[in-house]
Amino acid sequence: MTALTTSDGVRIDYQESGDATGRPVVLLAGFKAAATTWSAQVPALVQHGYRVISVDLRGHGAAEHPESGVDMKRRGADLHDLLDALDLTDVALVGGSMGGNTIWAYIADNGDERLRSVAIVDQTPKMLNTADWPHGFYGYDESNRDSFFAERIPDTGRGTPIWRRGRRLVRLLRAMRGADHALSTGELALLHDHAIADWRPVIAKTTVPTIFIAGADSEFWPSSHAAAAASLAPRGESSVIRHDGHAANIEQPRAFNTGLLAFLART
């Protein structure tokens, strides 16, 4: 991994793979997940000629873990610092879970001029369920807006039961090996900031091709979020992967890679 110091003095890390002259693809993992969770995607992207940059933002993997002061705006700024330091343009951003909404935080403050395309992996742009958005986190609404994520990520009872996941579970456990599942006060604050955000207005102003990929059996929200979000984007499309959970790229890597590579090729 290569270290990079952000504009506020925090160390983040990234790993480059593939042809240094290829079109850049930046991979952003979800909450608490390391860049290594993209291990099933990197070889496929490299094989197709892309310059692949897997990122550990602050609080992820080997990067620095500040105890406080991290919110979605700062995560967007970290992504800006990375793109600026590496002077990346014509970039495809691929974000899983919170990594997906980090892309919207970046675009909200910096626009999409550096970007070629965006892929959002099983992340609804609005986690709070409301009358005009029934595609949020299961059980999360105005009645528990400020308390739902106060102590943990709640178990929704949705998705494929652990004992029925088979190889999907093996892949997930392998990818998340060594991860610290305890949540600090600062991480809970970030989770709440993430939960109350509404990125739909940003999506509506994003001009680059954008795909929203959902796991049909996501534990967190209905897969309908993908088509609903795509309908907001000027150049949006969606895809749902059957027999797949929230960690869509990990549980069903072959189907995920096929869809992602096809999207990148036509955009």
DSSP states along 222-248: -THHHHHHHTTSTTEEEEEETT--SSH
- Integer Cα distance of 208 and 116 in angstroms: 6
Exposed e or buried b for every residue in 60-76, given b needs 16+ CB within 10 A?
bbebbbbeeebbbebbb
Helix 72-85 and helix 185-196: axis angle, to 10°?
90
- Reported for 137-142, long-range contacts at CB under 8 A and 24+ positions apart, including other chains, are 137/195, 137/220, 137/221, 138/220, 138/221, 138/222, 140/195
CATH 3.50.50.60 fits 2-266, yes or no: no
210 contacts 233 by C-beta, under 8 angstroms: yes
| Whether the predicted pLDDT of 172 surpasses 60 | no
Angular region, 240: left φ>0, alpha ψ -120 to 50, beta rest: beta
- Integer Cα distance of 189 and 194 in angstroms: 9
Q: What is the mean pLDDT of the chain?
A: 92
Position 158 scores a pLDDT of 82
Task: Report the number of secondary-structure helices (H) and strands (E) in the chain.
Answer: 9, 8
Position 169 scores a pLDDT of 53
Position 190 scores a pLDDT of 95
Position 199 scores a pLDDT of 98
* pLDDT single digits (tens) 211-231: 999 999 999 999 999 999 999
Q: How far is CA 89 from CA 12, 20, 21, 85, 147, in A?
A: 20, 13, 12, 11, 40
CB atoms within 10 A of CB 96: 28
Amino acid at 160: T
Token representation of residue 64: 């620095």
Confidence band of 61 (pLDDT split at 50, 70, 90):
confident
Per cent of the chain over pLDDT 90 is 82
Whether this prediction's pTM lies above 0.85 is answered by yes
Q: Break the chain into its structural domains and give their ranges.
A: 2-266
| Whether the predicted pLDDT of 163 surpasses 90 | no
Residue among 180, 114, 193 at smallest CA distance from 146: 193
Identify which has the larger pLDDT, 183 or 47.
Answer: 47
Confidence band of 176 (pLDDT split at 50, 70, 90):
low
* pLDDT single digits (tens) 76-112: 999 999 999 999 999 999 999 999 999 999 999 999 9
Confidence band of 178 (pLDDT split at 50, 70, 90):
low
